[in-house]
Structure 1
């Protein structure tokens, strides 16, 4: 093939997925996180939506630990259609829609499909998995894609700037990742506010209810210590005036190190 020739789209995607798998394999050579109890096996008969598949026995499986992007469904189809999979999770209790939540593994692979999607930039970590090691592994897979600006992260607007609340508010009802400096930490009633703007009514804020505080304390995080620190927050955007993200899980908040490059536009 000539040096300047281009690969067909499906070949390019396959090559990208192979690279993502090799990156994850290198990072997990000495550990295999997310190896929960097996909750069954099956063959993928159909891709239901960007985060759900149907097995040949009729079970609908929801891929836990991720939020989809515009390319997730296509990537799932490339990875899973007609493949034999193993399901792993702490339990097999279905959600209110009858879907069984699980981490999905192709055959006997040690790397989950979720981790592969994240490393390729075809998904975003949802922070819903409580197991510390598994959550860290998924976050590391996403970080790989962010650093290399792969998939979803190639778009500069994938990470919102907390200093531009109108851009965040425009995505109300969507799952977003926001970065910025916490200007103040205030408590009002049973709610703690991480304020990223000087205007409490117009600026972006992350809200944490009193019932969620024990989880942060167990993780060694004092909310007041986040004041004047740069953090990354992820979650569903809501709010009628200033944009808000309700933080219920510790993994929704990441402290950014002084030398860690941020993904927001200046």
Structure 2
């Protein structure tokens, strides 16, 4: 009887250990982002460099990254290599589809501790976006992109991956697309409800980053007040528009990175 009791105890301990490992594994999958589990599925097709379709028909938009317009094909190839045909888990704030019927989520291949987004960024196959409020997610994506940029992998092998703020024509060519622009802020000017970070002397032609008045307190609280950026070299990212010269509107603190040097 003692032998039977020992066997039962051992079996119970093994079950408890297996359950613990399962819980740890599930938590590890979401370690990068403390977001709710939003389901799972198997990837049936790669739509483009930041979208995939599951076997149940759902189209998933990878949150937190942007495609590089110069590397559409390679981005799609990289995503296929990571996720095509794989079982994946979805994490996010909301599983409601957007107006195009796509669900935005962080995607984890089963058994991986890193999101598909992080893997793409580490390979230089995507750009870190600006639409992520979760600080853990944003920090992880920024670090993954930085590693690829430092190693000049993928899109970062091209000097044109970061646009020069002095080359307005080059930036204008990216209108409607996500871009990363780097340069020195020559002046800061307030006009109505908008603050302009001017990277050139000609305000109607040269590149500028704009900060709406309602967003300014967030920059001040992050020690990135507009006036403090004057005469600093910074890197900004966002969708390029044109209002006279090329513009990028700054709506999140994460769109600005202060660089060394003047």
Q: Name the TM-score, length of structure 1 as normaliser.
A: 0.82
Cα distance in 1, alignment partners of residues 212 and 163 from structure 2? 23
The equivalent of 2:46 in structure 1 is 47
Moved over 6 A (4+): none
Once the two structures are TM-superposed, the CA of residue 134 in structure 1 deviates from its matched residue by 1.5
The equivalent of 1:36 in structure 2 is 35
Is the 8 Å Cα contact of residues 32 and 115 (structure 2) preserved in structure 1? Answer: no
Q: Deviations over 1:79-125 (max 9, x none)?
A: 11110000011222221212111110000322001001001100001
* Residue 132 of structure 1 pairs with residue 135 of structure 2: yes
The equivalent of 1:217 in structure 2 is 220
Q: Secondary structure at the match of 1:117?
A: helix
Give the 3 Å change call, closer, same or farther, for CA 90–219 of structure 1 in structure 2: farther
- In structure 1, the gaps of 5 or more residues are 1-28, 260-266
Once the two structures are TM-superposed, the CA of residue 215 in structure 1 deviates from its matched residue by 2.6
2:87 to 84, 102, 108: 84
Looking at secondary structure, tell me which structure has more helix per residue. 2
2:251 to 229, 248, 252: 248
Is the 8 Å Cα contact of residues 38 and 95 (structure 2) preserved in structure 1? Answer: yes
Is the 8 Å Cα contact of residues 34 and 136 (structure 2) preserved in structure 1? Answer: no
Q: Secondary structure at the match of 2:245?
A: coil
Q: Secondary structure at the match of 1:243?
A: strand
> Which shows bigger deviation, 131-140 or 110-119?
131-140
> Which shows bigger deviation, 168-177 or 78-87?
168-177
Cα distance in 2, alignment partners of residues 137 and 54 from structure 1? 25
Cα distance in 1, alignment partners of residues 104 and 141 from structure 2? 16
Q: Name the TM-score, length of structure 2 as normaliser.
A: 0.83
